[in-house]
């Protein structure tokens, strides 16, 4: 059986990896990119270059977007919106849930369907089913194209709401970006003491392995219970204060632990000194819970 033909618009590192994954599995691929030269190698490898964005959209029912943000999508597709009718836009561009919902409505106004995607791997993981991509939007459309989408990665369908895949993606990034910066912070303080990153590595990995803490605290968060039987917020303030001073003593920027300290202190000021640090969920909500 012949493989579904696909259009890919956006040939940064991610879009290029997607084109190669499709070509490797025998899918005909039409490509377009604002900077045309970025398509050259892919065309040499078997992709078909569309003469314009409109021609790329017209070429195939399934149009995969891999762009910097949703503004780029409008910049490319708004001028050729006449060609969108009957197309399925698989938007693997990351942006906010609200923008994803607005894009789904915008696509519908032009007779197209919109599947929101959130790719949970760097380009090196594209083509590998051990990695996955979040999807949301019309279930029927997702199911109809599932096999073709699974050429890129495994799929994780989150629901009909166009914003859901973007939301789960941003929550994933929330943890990833802040955790990675915390790790970089520790490496930087270590370096100020003459300790190499590769020597600190096992200790950072150990501290970043949070599974048992998350398993313990998640049910308590759902139950809204924050007893200070295992950890007390007042103890947390003292602990983070030590981190701030250790950082400053090393001559390193302490903005990150100071931000953490400020949130912990607000929780104590709100009367949660004897509760668990999870009581800070109320502080983050701005509610006194």
Q: Tell me, residue by residue from 73 to 102, as one string, x for binding to ligand NDP by CB under 6 A and - for no binding.
A: --xx----------------xx--------
Part of the chain binding ligand NDP (CB under 6 A), chosen from 64-72, 209-217, 234-242, 245-253? 64-72
Q: Tell me, residue by residue from 19 to 58, as one string, x for binding to ligand NDP by CB under 6 A and - for no binding.
A: --------------xxx--x--------------------
Does the footprint of ligand NDP cover residue 279 (CB under 6 A)? Answer: no
Nearer to ligand NDP by Cβ, of 11 and 151: the residue is 11
- Candidate list 6, 7, 8, 15; residue touching ligand NDP; CB under 6 A: 15
- Candidate list 46, 123, 138, 159; residue touching ligand NDP; CB under 6 A: 123
Long-range CB contacts (within 8 A, 24+) of 17-22: 17/123, 17/124, 17/126, 17/127, 18/64, 18/66, 18/92, 18/126, 18/152, 19/45, 19/47, 20/45, 20/126, 20/127, 21/126, 21/127, 21/151, 21/152, 22/151, 22/152
Nearer to ligand NDP by Cβ, of 62 and 268: the residue is 62
Nearer to ligand NDP by Cβ, of 21 and 280: the residue is 21
- Candidate list 13, 79, 111, 129; residue touching ligand NDP; CB under 6 A: 13
Does the footprint of ligand NDP cover residue 111 (CB under 6 A)? Answer: no
- Candidate list 8, 119, 162, 200; residue touching ligand NDP; CB under 6 A: 119
Does the footprint of ligand NDP cover residue 271 (CB under 6 A)? Answer: no
- Candidate list 67, 88, 104, 166; residue touching ligand NDP; CB under 6 A: 67
- Candidate list 7, 60, 66, 148; residue touching ligand NDP; CB under 6 A: 66
Nearer to ligand NDP by Cβ, of 26 and 122: the residue is 122
The position carrying tokens 């194209």 is: 145
- How far apart are CB 12 and ligand NDP at their closest, in Å? 2
Nearer to ligand NDP by Cβ, of 11 and 237: the residue is 11
Q: Please report, as ranges, the residues that interact with ligand NDP according to CB under 6 A.
A: 10-15, 33-35, 38, 66-68, 72, 75-76, 93-94, 119, 122-123
């Amino acid at each position: 059986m012949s493989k579904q033909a696909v259009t890919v618009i956006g040939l940064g590192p991610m879009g290029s990896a997607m084109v190669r994954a499709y070509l490797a599995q025998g899918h005909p691929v039409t490509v377009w990119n604002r900077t045309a030269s970025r398509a050259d190698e892919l065309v040499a490898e078997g992709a078909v270059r569309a003469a314009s964005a409109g021609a790329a959209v017209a070429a195939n029912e399934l149009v995969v977007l891999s762009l910097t943000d949703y503004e780029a999508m409008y910049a490319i597709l708004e001028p050729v919106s006449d060609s969108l009718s009957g197309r399925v836009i698989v938007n693997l561009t990351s942006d906010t849930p609200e923008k994803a919902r607005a894009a789904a409505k915008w696509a519908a106004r032009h007779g197209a369907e919109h599947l929101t995607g959130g790719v949970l791997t760097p380009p090196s993981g594209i083509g590998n089913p051990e990695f996955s991509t979040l999807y949301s939007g019309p279930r029927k459309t997702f199911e109809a194209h599932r096999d073709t989408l699974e050429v890129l990665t495994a799929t994780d369908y989150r629901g009909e709401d166009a914003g859901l895949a973007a939301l789960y993606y941003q929550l994933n990034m929330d943890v990833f970006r802040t955790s990675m910066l915390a790790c970089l912070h520790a490496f930087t303080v270590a370096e100020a003491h003459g300790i190499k990153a590769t020597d600190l590595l096992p200790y950072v990995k150990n501290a970043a392995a949070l599974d048992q803490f998350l398993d313990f605290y998640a049910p308590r968060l759902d139950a809204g219970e924050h007893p200070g039987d295992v950890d007390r917020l007042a103890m947390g303030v003292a602990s983070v204060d030590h981190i701030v001073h250790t950082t400053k003593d090393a001559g390193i920027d302490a903005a990150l632990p100071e931000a953490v300290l400020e949130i912990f202190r607000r929780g104590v000021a709100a009367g949660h000194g004897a509760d668990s640090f999870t009581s800070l969920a109320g502080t983050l909500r701005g509610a006194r819970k």
